[in-house]
């Protein structure tokens, strides 16, 4: 067991959840389940966080913020989707204002099912996420799912022309363009 | 004697790390939780080294590192230097690096936190100067090394100054009720919000050094009686943590009012009476 595994810091983001899963996540930090004994702190700051815990189906008003938070987290990072809504969209699937789960926008490492997910399940999910986190390094390049096709097209084009590929810069440009486009559109497009 | 102080100054990040780890356990036990292991701050230290730092700009990162070294230097000057005031003023300078770093980025949380950090300095630093004056009146020297050789107990002559200092510790260590500059629920850490990876590590470690700084001042109140000093700092430690757990955050108006209209007059009264007794009567 490496030392790094002993201090994961969590960033918790609610993209339109009903607060059921959020209360269960907060219950994990209470006296009964006490995640601080594993060194886990709920940091509100993406720049110092390691694990992104997302709840809720991604609504159209939160998707740009979700991407922005994900891009602000430094590598190595993992994403845990907590609850049925975050995994697939749950009871809100295919509604007009919902994007059917987190993995349409960012790559998810662990899915924790349940409505609401139980604290034991969340702890197990975070333990699984830590094993994945241990294999990643600070040079890992994570591509948000929503720009993956565009990214691959651009990289293939640049490689064909024999240009030097700065992968992080391409991802950054694509995501900032995407966020700008989505924030400019009227609400509930 | 001098070599003990030099060793403490040199090893202060490690000693402060242990104090912080112990504090996290004590705080967890007060909340009926088990709490992290004692070495948890050092695990965090190793983890932060393995993260990719995201720099806003190089000046901001440099101010983070300057804050760490300046705090360490201030503590060393405080413990080994010729004058207690030099240590206190260098401590203000170290905070100035932190504040300038916070102002240099566009994040509103960072700028707001830096403004509040200045309020902290305004509230606390006059009290620290009065404390140095009081210790001078009792021990007759400005040097910390000589103060640790004083055979009597300065606490007997300076009870009100000590009470004022203990009530100001939450403002120095950024704990509730006076944690307005790094209010974790409203401005997410204040000036430290834009540091990440290696550069956050510098800020994180500098905070451990502040613990050594505060408890060194508590030790000064017992002179050469080191065992008494240990007992006193343990009592202060538990009191500060109980206060941290049981109170909510004040506004900065309330903090300034409390510091200037209650703590400062309290300390000034003690020093006034002491000076009258020493030099007039």
pLDDT reported for residue B26: 93
CA distances in angstroms from B258 to B58, B128, B164, B263, listed in the order given: 38, 15, 10, 7
pLDDT reported for residue A184: 63
Across the range B80-94, mean pLDDT stands at 90
pLDDT reported for residue B181: 87
From chain A, pick out residues whose CB is under 8 angstroms from the CB of B195.
47-48
pLDDT reported for residue B139: 87
**Domain limits, chain B:** 2-280
Tell me which chain B residue has its CA closest to the CA of residue A48.
B196
Alpha-carbon gap, residue A181 to A185, rounded angstroms: 7
Percent of chain B with pLDDT over 70: 100
Helix or strand holding residue A9 (H, E)? strand A9-14
Tell if the CB–CB gap between A39 and B34 is shorter than 8 Å.
no
**pLDDT band of A1, cuts 50, 70, 90:** low
Tell if the CB–CB gap between B43 and A6 is shorter than 8 Å.
yes
Across the range A106-133, mean pLDDT stands at 91
pLDDT digits (tens, 9 = 90+) for B192-220: 898 988 899 999 999 999 999 999 999 88
CA distances in angstroms from A155 to A67, A68, A136, listed in the order given: 21, 22, 22
pLDDT reported for residue A187: 56
A138 in B contact zone (CB under 8 Å): yes
Q: Which of residues 12-41 of B touch A (CB under 8 A)?
A: 24, 28, 31-37, 40
**Helix B108-139 to helix B159-173 angle, to the nearest 10 degrees?**
160
**Domain limits, chain A:** 4-135, 145-184
Instruction: Report the C-alpha dihedral over residues A86, A91, A96, A101, rounded to 10 degrees.
Output: 20
Q: Look over chain A and give the mean of its residue pLDDT values, rounded to a whole number.
A: 87
From chain A, pick out residues whose CB is under 8 angstroms from the CB of B28.
34, 36-37
A44 in B contact zone (CB under 8 Å): yes
> What CATH fold (topology level) applies to the domain A4-135?
Rossmann fold (3.40.50)
Mutate to test the interface with A, among B23, B39, B46, B50 (most CBs of A within 10 A): B50
Residue A131 C-alpha, separation from nearest chain B C-alpha, in angstroms: 15
Tell me the β-bridge partners of A51: A10, A78
Tell me which chain A residue has its CA closest to the CA of residue B24.
A36
Percent of chain A with pLDDT over 70: 96
pLDDT digits (tens, 9 = 90+) for B14-36: 999 999 999 999 999 999 998 89
* 3-state DSSP assignment of residue B60: helix
Is the predicted pLDDT of residue A161 greater than 60, yes or no? yes
Closest CB from B52, B188, B189 relative to A138 = B52
Radius of gyration of chain B (CA): 19
| CB neighbourhood size of B104 (10 A) | 18
* 3-state DSSP assignment of residue A59: strand
The reported pTM is: 0.89
Closest CB from B44, B51, B193 relative to A45 = B193
Residue A125 C-alpha, separation from nearest chain B C-alpha, in angstroms: 20
pLDDT digits (tens, 9 = 90+) for B120-165: 999 999 999 999 999 898 888 888 888 888 888 888 888 999 999 9
**pLDDT band of A75, cuts 50, 70, 90:** confident
Whether ipTM exceeds 0.95 = no
Is the predicted pLDDT of residue A144 greater than 80, yes or no? yes
**pLDDT band of A185, cuts 50, 70, 90:** low
């Amino acid at each position: 067991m490496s030392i790094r595994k002993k201090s994961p810091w969590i960033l918790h983001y609610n993209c339109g959840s009903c607060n059921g899963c959020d209360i269960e996540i907060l219950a994990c930090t209470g006296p009964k389940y006490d995640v601080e004994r594993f060194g886990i702190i709920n940091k509100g700051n993406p720049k110092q966080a390691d694990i992104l815990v997302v709840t809720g189906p991604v609504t159209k008003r939160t998707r740009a913020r979700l991407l922005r938070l994900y891009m602000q987290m430094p590598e190595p990072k993992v994403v845990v989707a907590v609850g049925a809504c975050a995994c697939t969209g749950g009871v809100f699937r295919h509604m007009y204002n919902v994007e059917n789960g987190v993995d349409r926008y960012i790559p998810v490492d662990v899915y924790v099912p349940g409505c609401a997910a139980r604290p034991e399940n969340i702890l197990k999910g975070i333990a699984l996420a830590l094993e994945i986190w241990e294999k990643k390094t600070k040079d890992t390049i994570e591509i948000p799912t929503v720009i993956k096709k565009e990214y691959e097209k651009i990289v293939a084009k640049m490689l064909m022309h024999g240009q030097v590929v700065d992968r992080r810069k391409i991802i950054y440009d694509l995501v900032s363009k995407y966020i700008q486009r989505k924030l400019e559109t009227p609400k509930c497009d | 004697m001098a070599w003990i102080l030099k060793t403490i100054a040199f090893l202060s990040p490690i000693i402060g790390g242990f104090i912080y780890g112990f504090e996290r356990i004590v705080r967890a036990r007060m909340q009926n939780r088990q709490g992290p292991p004692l070495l948890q701050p050092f695990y965090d230290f190793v983890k932060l080294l393995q993260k990719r730092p995201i720099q806003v700009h190089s000046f901001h990162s440099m101010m983070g590192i300057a804050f760490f070294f300046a705090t360490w230097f201030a503590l060393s000057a405080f413990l080994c230097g010729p004058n207690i005031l030099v240590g206190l003023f260098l401590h203000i300078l170290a905070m100035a690096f932190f504040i300038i770093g916070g102002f240099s980025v566009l994040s509103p949380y960072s700028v707001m936190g830096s403004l509040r950090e200045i309020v902290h300095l305004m509230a606390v630093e006059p009290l620290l100067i009065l404390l140095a004056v009081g210790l001078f009146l009792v021990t007759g020297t400005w040097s910390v090394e000589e103060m640790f050789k004083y055979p009597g107990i300065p606490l007997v002559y300076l009870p009100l100054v000590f009470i004022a200092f203990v009530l100001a510790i939450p403002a120095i260590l950024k704990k509730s009720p006076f944690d307005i500059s790094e209010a974790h629920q409203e401005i997410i850490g204040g000036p430290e919000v834009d540091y990440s990876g290696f550069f956050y590590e510098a800020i994180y470690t500098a905070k451990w050094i502040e613990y050594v700084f505060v408890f060194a001042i508590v030790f000064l109140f017992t002179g050469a009686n080191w065992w008494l000093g240990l007992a006193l700092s343990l009592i202060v430690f538990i009191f500060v943590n109980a206060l941290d757990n049981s109170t909510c955050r004040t506004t900065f108006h309330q903090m300034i009012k409390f510091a200037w209209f209650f703590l400062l007059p309290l300390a000034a009264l003690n020093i006034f009476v002491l000076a009258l007794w020493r030099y007039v009567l």
